[in-house]
Amino acid sequence: MPEPRLNNREIIISVENLEHSYGDFKAVDGISFTVKKGEIFSFLGPNGAGKSTAINILITLLAKQKGSASVAGYDVTKDPQKVRESIGIVFQDITLDRDMTVWEILEFHGRLYNMPREERKNRIDELLRLVQLEAKKDERTKNLSGGMKRRLEIARGLMTRPKVLFLDEPTIGLDPQTRMRMWEYIKGVNKEGTTIFLTTHYMDEADQLSDRISIIDQGKIIISGTSWELKNTLGQDLIYLETNDNEAAIRLLKNVPSVRDIKIKTKGFVVMVNEDGTKVLPHIIDTLRNEGIDSSTINLKKPSMDDVFVFYTGKEIRDEPAGKPFHPVMRPGGR
């Protein structure tokens, strides 16, 4: 299997048979996984799949109910304090005080974690440079754009030089360009040595960023692996066909050696092939024509993360309007 570069690294997050229920609803239903030091690991799944619940347990905001979980070598239940000292968090919604300045946000965070004054000062300067917010140092956060707010939050998450940075839907609600710039920041941070645990419901985000991905749905991990491995489980290529007799065609093609699996669609079907699709396709067309089956539509493509997701969960992730948006519902003059 490819991507051996992380195989020998030490494990920094370890989760076994983790379960969490809200009443009768099992939000997390017995998941197990490990994250290695220095990697970018993603939880990919639709909203409500249990990603945030899992992350909340790992960051010690939610008490563990069943199973075991440790972060940076510390058990989340026995040593929550140590876990907290070892991690940085970027929450799903923007969690910035609108009336504090960029500098104050970072200063407050540094103080919360008991960083010495001199170190705070240096770290803030360093991080503002990293996320390119030096010019906004004394700006109140309510005057920042969405992308700037997210960058500030990433800087805050990195303030205490955490071993693991948790990012819960880091690019939710951002425009495509800003998202891509965020990815660059995240990759940069990872290159500096910070392990990154990311949840997302964006396929491309998981695909582009992660060393390894776990697809999670209805509280369960469906499959884990590198992006390459996951796509490869669907074969090398996907061939979409519409014919005048789909049933007969599928029966025929099942016996072709290089065909791995066939998925039925509304009007046609998808043939997953183990070999180069451009080579297999003429053979498939011939096989069908010999039996008098005509193809009306043919399409060849490489498996994408969407295909992987649809294949394993049986549904597509619809891009819902930015999850739970940040709505300051009540904001009276006084508080």
Partner 1 sequence: MALGFITIYWRDMIRFVRFKTLLVSSLLQPALWLAFFGIAMSSSFDTLMAGMPVLPGVPNVGYLTFMGAGIIAMTTLFTSLFGGIVILFDKNWGLMREILASPMNRNHIIFGIGLSGVTKSFIQAIIIMVFGILIGAAFFSGFTPLEILIGVAGILAFVGMFALGFLFLSAAIAISMESPEGLQGVTTLLTMPIFFASNALYPTDAFPEFLKILSMYNPMTLLITGIRYFAIGPDFIALGKHYQYTQSDILVSYLGLAFFSALMFGLAWWRFKKAVVT
Residues at the contact surface with partner 1, assessed by CB under 8 A: 52, 56, 59-63, 81, 84-85, 89, 91, 93-97, 99-100, 104, 108-109, 111-114, 156, 326, 328-330, 332-335
What CA–CA distances, in Å, run from 236 to 62, 256, 261?
A: 41, 15, 12
- What is the C-alpha to C-alpha distance for residues 117 and 93, in angstroms, rounded to an integer? 29
- What is the C-alpha to C-alpha distance for residues 247 and 269, in angstroms, rounded to an integer? 9
Phi, psi angles (nearest 5°) of residue 294: -105, 140
The first and second tokens of residue 142, run together, are 């309510």
Q: Bridge-partner residues for 44, per DSSP?
A: 200, 215
Closest approach, Cβ 271 to partner 1, in A, equals 44
Considering only CA atoms, which of 28, 86, 56, 59 is closest in space to residue 221? 28
Closest approach, Cβ 86 to partner 1, in A, equals 10
The first and second tokens of residue 116, run together, are 């010495």
Closest approach, Cβ 158 to partner 1, in A, equals 14
- Taking the chain, what is the end-to-end CA distance rounded to the nearest angstrom? 57
Query: Amino acid identity, residue 308?
Result: V
Kindly compute the dihedral angle of the four CA atoms of residues 41, 47, 49, 50, in this order, to the nearest 10 degrees.
70
Nearer to partner 1, 76 or 280 (CB): 76
Closest approach, Cβ 91 to partner 1, in A, equals 6
Nearer to partner 1, 71 or 284 (CB): 71
Nearer to partner 1, 199 or 227 (CB): 199
Nearer to partner 1, 9 or 117 (CB): 117
Closest approach, Cβ 293 to partner 1, in A, equals 55
Nearer to partner 1, 164 or 308 (CB): 164
Nearer to partner 1, 63 or 264 (CB): 63
The first and second tokens of residue 247, run together, are 């049933």
Closest approach, Cβ 47 to partner 1, in A, equals 15
DSSP class of 88: E
